Amino acid sequence: MTLGAASVARGDGALLGTVEPAIELVDVVAGYYVDQPVLQGLNLRCQKGVVTALLGPNGAGKSTALRVIAGLLPPISGRVMLFGNDVSGLTAHALAHRGVSFLPQGRSTFGDMTVEDNLELGAWVLPRRRRRVAINEIFERYPNLRTHRRTLVARLSGGQQRLLEISRALISNPKVVVVDEPSVGLSPILADRSYEELRLLKEEGRTVVLVDQNVRSALALADYVYSLRAGRTEREGRREEMSGDLSELVREWLGIAGGGQIR
Ligand SMILES: Nc1ncnc2c1ncn2[C@@H]1O[C@H](COP(=O)(O)OP(=O)(O)OP(=O)(O)O)[C@@H](O)[C@H]1O
Ligand SMILES: [Mg+2]
């Protein structure tokens, strides 16, 4: 067990299941209408320092699960645990203070504000005296953003905007990064860059919960995979165990989508 703890501290997913999870969803029921829940008793365990991917067909509830984890949608019932503490019903604001950062799908920066102002918004969660240091650390990591610090975000290239989105999610030095569809709408080069950044997060020992339509990319990055359907876990396992099953499942998902049964 001592060896296990040391390995996991390095972000090694080989001993999945032997350590305390960073995020745990226990029988979570959640949705947008009380009488029509999207998540219907979802159970997830996202281990510390590893990448967990949630896959599944359109409408399965993947983004909804991420919103619950990030505190944007309170569960109707069930529990959300963060590092062993019950955080069910805490707001996104409170969870950000506890180290959870959400990178939503699509544009999440403000186009009519400068790069630096956007980073300051991302740094609100830090004590005032830490904010400047944190912004400078981001500029060290992405010199290109420093060059454009006074530029309005709308004038940045797509790639620069993506870097800004990622860096805004990182500025608070989160322990858990929740990412919805990191490559959607991006050119292949920008998508690769986006995955490269996610890989780096894992190397830094952060916990990543990832939703991705691109199953191949998700599998290249994830240590552990859940396949969701209709708000429940259909299958789960380590990436190596799931790869074969998933190609079957993806065909099935696509078949279903083609059959028009998915909203
Ligand atoms: N803001 C909302 N208000 C009402 N219903 C919603 C809202 N967002 C999602 N839904 C519904 O909840 C269900 C699950 O949606 P969700 O976005 O979680 O699916 P998903 O697995 O992320 O799908 P996709 O792969 O298309 O992104 C869908 O039926 C969807 O129509
Ligand atoms: Mg979604």
The DSSP string of 15-33 is GTTSS-EEEEEEEEEE-SS
Among 39, 58, 105, 209, which residue has the most ligand 1 atoms within 8 Å of its CB, making it the best to mutate? Answer: 58
The protein residue whose alpha carbon is closest to atom 3 in ligand 1 is 32
pLDDT digits (tens, 9 = 90+) for 102-118: 998 877 889 999 999 99
What is the reported pLDDT for 9? 38
What is the reported pLDDT for 256? 55
For the chain, how many structural domains are there in total? 1
Whether residue 139 lies inside any domain: the answer is no
Cα-to-centroid distance, 262 and ligand 1 (Å): 11
Q: What is the CATH number of the domain that holds 77?
A: 3.40.50.300
d(CA 55, CA 31): 18
Query: Which ranges constitute the DSSP H helices of the chain?
Result: 2-9, 62-70, 92-97, 115-122, 128-141, 143-147, 158-170, 188-203, 215-221, 239-258
Cα-to-centroid distance, 247 and ligand 2 (Å): 20
Name the residue among 205, 191, 251, 229 with its Cα closest to residue 99: 205
The protein residue whose alpha carbon is closest to atom 17 in ligand 1 is 63
Whether residue 211 lies inside any domain: the answer is no
Q: Which atom of ligand 1 is nearest to the CA of 105?
A: 27
Whether residue 11 lies inside any domain: the answer is yes
What is the reported pLDDT for 247? 79
**Phi, psi at 234, each rounded to 5°:** -90, -40
Residue 204 · residue 137 · CB < 8 Å:
no
d(CA 150, CA 27): 47
Rounded mean pLDDT of 83-89? Answer: 96
Whether residue 197 lies inside any domain: the answer is no
Residues comprising the chain, all counted: 263
Handedness of CA 106, 194, 45, 202 (dihedral sign): negative
Expressed as residue numbers, the domain containing 34 is 1-99+222-263
pLDDT digits (tens, 9 = 90+) for 238-262: 998 887 777 788 887 777 554 333 3
For 46, what's the count of Cα atoms within 13 Å in the CB-facing half-sphere?
Answer: 31
Tell me which of 105-109, 127-131, 154-158 is least confident. 105-109
Inform me whether the pLDDT recorded for 3 exceeds 50.
Answer: no
Whether residue 255 lies inside any domain: the answer is yes
Residues framing ligand 1 (Cβ under 6 A): 32, 38, 56, 58-64, 213, 263
Q: In the numeric block, which tokens belong to residue 87?
A: 């955080």
Whether residue 18 lies inside any domain: the answer is yes
Whether residue 175 lies inside any domain: the answer is no
Inform me whether the pLDDT recorded for 8 exceeds 50.
Answer: no
Cα-to-centroid distance, 187 and ligand 1 (Å): 24
- Residues paired with 46 in a beta bridge: 23
Handedness of CA 107, 110, 112, 115 (dihedral sign): negative
Q: In the numeric block, which tokens belong to residue 214?
A: 């691109």
Residue 199 · residue 192 · CB < 8 Å:
no
How many helices and strands (H and E) does the chain possess? 10, 10
What is the reported pLDDT for 188? 87
Whether residue 210 lies inside any domain: the answer is no
78-110 burial code (b ≥16 CB/10 A, e <16)? bebbbbeeebbebeeeebbebbbbbbbeeebbe
The protein residue whose alpha carbon is closest to atom 9 in ligand 1 is 64
Q: Which atom of ligand 1 is nearest to the CA of 64?
A: 18
pLDDT digits (tens, 9 = 90+) for 55-78: 999 999 999 999 999 999 999 999
Q: What is the amino acid identity at position 90?
A: L
